[in-house]
Amino acid sequence: MPPEIVGGPFFDHVRHPRNQGAVAGADGCAVGVGSCGDSVEISLRLQGDTISAIGHRPRGCDYTVACASAVTQLAYGKTVEEALLLQPEDVDCLLGGLPEDHLHCARLAVNTLGEAIADAYRTVALPAKDKGDGH
């Protein structure tokens, strides 16, 4: 680990990941696998259109752990629309900067968040729609 990040926000997220673990009764869940083989599972619960609970279970290097932690911190309490606007650069910024060869970890976390939101829409929004149109 580069010495310049040992005391910064990156290191804090590695040592004390936010929102770690699966969300019980999740509305949406997704597992993303990065090009390096690391994976991130994100589960979330919605209250209306707001992310009311979110958790992650990373499997991989410290960068994957920190990025998963950061993306859940950024998404918690946001509306779905706001969360879908999150970019890997937002994760990078929150963590105080990532080395170029680990920016894919931020992309993995953000993409997995988007997939978990899409899963929530399939499991929560679609059944309600099906009831209304008779199909």
Output b/e per residue, 63-81; b: 16+ Cβ within 10 A. Answer: bbbbbbbbbbbbbbebebe
Residue 128 has pLDDT above 60, yes or no: no
109 inside domain: yes
Domain span at 70: 3-129
76 inside domain: yes
The CATH number assigned to the domain holding 78 equals 3.90.1010.10
Residue range 69-110, pLDDT digits in tens? 999 999 999 999 999 999 999 999 999 999 999 999 999 999
- Helix 62-75 to helix 103-120 angle, to the nearest 10 degrees? 40
pLDDT of residue 126: 63
Counting the structural domains of the chain, the total is 1
Residue range 60-73, pLDDT digits in tens? 999 999 999 999 99
35 inside domain: yes
Residue range 4-59, pLDDT digits in tens? 446 799 999 999 999 999 999 999 999 999 999 999 999 999 999 999 999 999 99
134 inside domain: no
Residue 118 has pLDDT above 80, yes or no: yes
pLDDT of residue 123: 84
Residue 115 has pLDDT above 90, yes or no: yes
> pLDDT confidence of 3, banded at 50, 70, 90?
very low
